Chain A
Amino acid sequence: MLSARARRASRLSGILPLRRFRRLLPLFTAFALLAAPSVGRAQTPSPAEQLAGLAARIDSAIEHMSSADVTAAQTDYQAFSDGWNGMSDALQAQSPNDFQSITDEMSAVSSALMSDPLDSAAAEAALQALHDQTTAFVAQSQPTLTLYSAQHQYTTRALVDAFQQQTGIAVRVHYGDDFELAHQLVEEGSSSPADVFFTENSPPLALVDEQGLLARVDPSTLARVSANYNASTGNWVGVAARETVLVYNPQVLGDAQLPQSVLDLGQAAWKGKLAIAPAEPDFQPVVSAVIHLRGEAAAESWLAGFKQNATIYNDNEGIVAAVENGQAGAAIVNHYYWFRAAADTGGPASMRSKLAYFAGGDPGAMLDVSGAGILRSAAHPDLARRFLDFLVSRTGETALVSSGDFEYPLGSGVAASPQVERFDHLQPPNLTPGDLGNGQDAVELLQKVGLL
């Protein structure tokens, strides 16, 4: 039997430690005050870091040169040269030899770019030599960038390796899920160790941006990507996109008509045929799109119908597998899950399920944007700017595609994997990441109809 005393004690168990905690609060506060000064950061970046950031202009000039856009290359080089003049005194004081060799390469580039007629091969070679010289200098001081990445690990690794090779900057990566990392960044606030936040979807970036934690991205970096994939605030840049598609199993659907619009899937004809993963961050943008394009009431009745018709799965992998093995007839999913499943089973031709693309700007054809932003509190802002510029450069986007990622690269006109539908054939709705915001309206609606 339990004694009366023990019973009272168990009732007390929740309260007692609380009271003690209050007593200890001053102690914690004292500790916090003691710890605070150690958080202070170096205010002026080292010459090597400044140069590392600036060198993005050389990369850009090389890319422009190789596509025979001489004017753009000259503009890039001019920007580099101006930046160099602003910082070279510090570099000269610190390392006269490196200063001299970089200045030598610069005069070679100048004369190559100014010569008439212009020998583009020679100019490109001179730029490359300047690039190598700066990279070697940057690499000496072993700068390290801290990246919070919610992108897939193999993609992130491929990008980080290519970045280090290109710039001599090492990257330490903290992996996590989109919102998990966004939460962490918000909790960390201005004392975050992160320099760059790289996500799979735009809402977590929008969230961190709303909290005032992101810094401006260089206009030249933003310019590498079509403006409707970047933040309207200019505080993050779109890196890659995924198209929402209908994955369906012809054997299960039989002669049934494929839906013209994602809204058709709320109709009773689809009862028992659908799979849905409402908790995946990829589903929210579709809901947001429906809300924006058809209104909240229409979105709610559509979702209620969808809930009636569909079996709920936990993740996108699960619903692709369900459609593939015939448990479900169709599902809404980002295109690359299907292509990855296909890559695992021996190519798209060996899949029993097929893809259908919604047309005419249907909300079902929503594009989800993966992007990156620089933390306002970044300890290495120059390295961070360089990394962002690299992500959307031709080299960076090519590394993304060749890592086996089926996303659509958004920067510098690089083409996606030849297996996927051409980007210019897609007909997504005319919505920007800014319209999507942090996705809260979609979450609230999903909660309201009981899908979350």
Chain B
Amino acid sequence: METSASFSLGGAAQIESTRRRARPAPAWVVAGGVVVALLAVLPLILLLSQAASLGWARIQPLLIRPLVGELLVNTALLTVTATIAASVLGLGVAWCVERTDLPGARVWGLIAGLPLTVPAFVTSYSWVSLTPAVQGFAGAVLVLVLAYYPLVYLPVAAVLRGMDPALEENARSLGLSPSRTFLRVILPQARPALFGGGLIVAIHLLAEFGAFAMLRFRTFTTVIYDEYRLSFSGPAAAMLSTVLVGLCVALLLLELRVRGGSHYTRVGRGTARPVGRLRLGWATPVVLLAFVVLLSAALGLPLGTLVYWLTRASAAFTAGDLLGAVATSLGLSAGAAALTTVLALPIAILAVRYPGRLATALERSTYLASSLPGIAVALALVVVAVRFLRPFYQTTPLLLIAYAILFLPLALVSARAALAQASPAVEELARSLGCGPWATFRRVTLPLIAPGLGSGAALVFLFAMTELPATLLLAPIGTQTLATQVWSNTRSLSYGAAAPFAGLMICLSILPTFVLTRKLSALTSSHA
């Protein structure tokens, strides 16, 4: 550990990837990874076969029509714009919180993650009820950036917090200005977190439905929903879904390309000590004002709307409904978080410790299902379950698997980041001292990556809490979650009746978000 400081001098922490070919990946990791990846692409395979069964003569008019072109432009433009904007905003917020003398930076840091607790459709609803001007492209970008920027902010902030201050200090002492230090030292270090977060944002934008529906912005996903909602046009929907998958593949390749092959692990962890913060000086009130505006827009407005709904809560709901939905939501989300984290592990281990074609293929394939509309994934799972797993159909285990398929990337990104920061040298040392592979994993690796796994689990928990299409179709009959109650009430215009459920959904999400911010900091600073 003592050597680490000298190693990281001069920004040498960027180590070109050296593939470890010394040992092949253990069989259980490969087997686990293959099974998980298969599970994740299962809905996709079904959709593709459904689309392919049509034959080109019928595919052509479905695929080549004005609407598809329009949607392609809409979806691509929105995904690119909103992802870049969310990344810039997330990075900016993280930098202000972690690297400046912003008054109350710690508190801002905690609050800035909270917009993640508000489902995007609630944010959009509040904006639309405030002003119809947000409907359309610009509004959609605005609202979705506000809803999703924490997905970039949280990991980037964690990286900044965990960075060895020596890097920046050396850069400054060697004559780099603060802005050039940011560009040449901080930005490269934050790059994996930035791109990882950006990728998650982009994939969620591809699959987002509720928000775009409210904002009257048509993307592939909203139109796929329309196809399912209006008619028995399974093939048409499957066709559009394959285009969406194509977009997702393009995104994944793009991310692979810009991320590059560089690794950012340090041999040691450097020293954890407070970093010198930039004095904002005259800019302090401006930055403060920006934070107030941002958080009122992203958090204050939706919460205000909920309070307004609550005051009009005319429709009857019973405490029993409320408590039942809370218990079900908590149980399902916790189950989803646990299962998804476990499933993400073998793939993360493969990707980080045994990189190669198989690892890349398996890891990337888990993203595809997340870019599909929830309804398409859910219906595909109905087919699988009814044909092959009839006894499990509409049972909790199958619903949890559906959640895992939808949210695997969330757990995977965190698990990967955590593994990448845990030095394999420590594991090798344990092995050389006679520890078996399982014991090494349990006693060395797991404690090192636990905080990272925890943050991934917290993210999955958050998203499972608001998941709707898979829950509606696959939950055991009679199951009511907070999300299905909100859906059911808003569908019949009873926003007053929806408010308590939506409010509880947000309250229950606050805890994991705090865990998320705390765990991320623990991940990067606890074991110096």
Contacts and interface: CB of A to CB of B under 8 A. Distances in A.
Given A2-B261, A32-B387, A447 B65 contact: yes
Contacts of B253: 10
A177 interface: yes
A255 interface: no
Given A16-B365, A314-B216, A314-B222, 20 more contacts: A9-B356, A9-B358, A16-B361, A18-B45, A35-B391, A38-B390, A179-B231, A180-B228, A180-B473, A183-B234, A184-B379, A187-B383, A189-B386, A312-B216, A314-B214, A337-B493, A344-B493, A438-B231, A443-B230, A452-B230
Contacts of B322: none
A281 B391 CA distance: 33
Contact of B477 (A178, A179, A193): A193
Contacts of B229: 177-180, 279, 281
Contacts of A203: 231
A2 B488 CA distance: 48
Contacts of B228: 179-180, 183
A326 to B, nearest CB: 11
Interface string A413-452: 0000000000000000000000000111001000100101
B66 A450 contact: yes
B28 interface: no
Interface residues of B, number: 68
B34 A173 contact: no
A293 B372 CA distance: 39
Contact of B472 (A13, A175, A178): A175
B390 A35 contact: yes
A327 to B, nearest CB: 6
B41 interface: yes
A6 B382 contact: no
Q: Taking each of A5, A153, A207, A327, which has the highest tally of chain B beta carbons within 10 Å of its own beta carbon?
A: A153
A430 to B, nearest CB: 24
A182 to B, nearest CB: 7
B233 A443 contact: yes
Given A13-B365, A39-B390, A186 B488 contact: no
Given A183-B228, A186-B232, A191 B261 contact: no
Interface string B335-370: 000000000000000000000111111101100000
Given A14-B249, A17-B41, A153-B492, A2 B256 contact: yes
Interface in B442-473: 469, 472-473
A322 B234 CA distance: 32
Contacts of A1: 260-261
Contacts of B213: 314-315
Interface in A46-92: none
A38 B42 CA distance: 24
B477 A450 contact: no
B365 A281 contact: no
Interface string B469-489: 100110001100000100011
A186 B394 CA distance: 15
How extensive is the interface on chain A, given as a class?
35 or more
A317 interface: yes
Q: Taking each of B365, B391, B489, which has the highest tally of chain A beta carbons within 10 Å of its own beta carbon?
A: B365
Contact of A450 (B67, B227, B386): B67
A210 to B, nearest CB: 9
Interface in A304-338: 312-315, 317-318, 322, 327, 337
B130 interface: no
B59 to A, nearest CB: 15
Nearest to A186: B232
A87 B359 CA distance: 64
B492 A452 contact: no
B132 to A, nearest CB: 6
Interface of A: 1-3, 5-10, 12-14, 16-18, 20-21, 24, 28, 31-32, 35-36, 38-39, 146, 152-154, 172-180, 182-184, 186-189, 191, 193, 203, 207, 279, 281, 284, 312-315, 317-318, 322, 327, 337, 340-341, 344, 438-440, 443, 447, 450, 452
Contacts of A189: 386
A448 to B, nearest CB: 9
Contacts of A443: 230-231, 233
Nearest to A320: B493
Contacts of A438: 231-232
A17 B37 contact: yes
Contacts of B390: 32, 35-36, 38-39, 191
B438 interface: no
B379 A9 contact: no
B38 A10 contact: no
Nearest to A28: B388
Nearest to A278: B226
A172 B472 contact: no
A450 B218 CA distance: 12
Nearest to B394: A193
B469 to A, nearest CB: 8
Contact of B364 (A13, A21, A38, A452): A13
B232 A313 contact: no
A98 to B, nearest CB: 29
Q: Taking each of A38, A186, A438, A452, which has the highest tally of chain B beta carbons within 10 Å of its own beta carbon?
A: A452
Nearest to A315: B213
A279 B230 contact: yes
Contacts of A178: 229
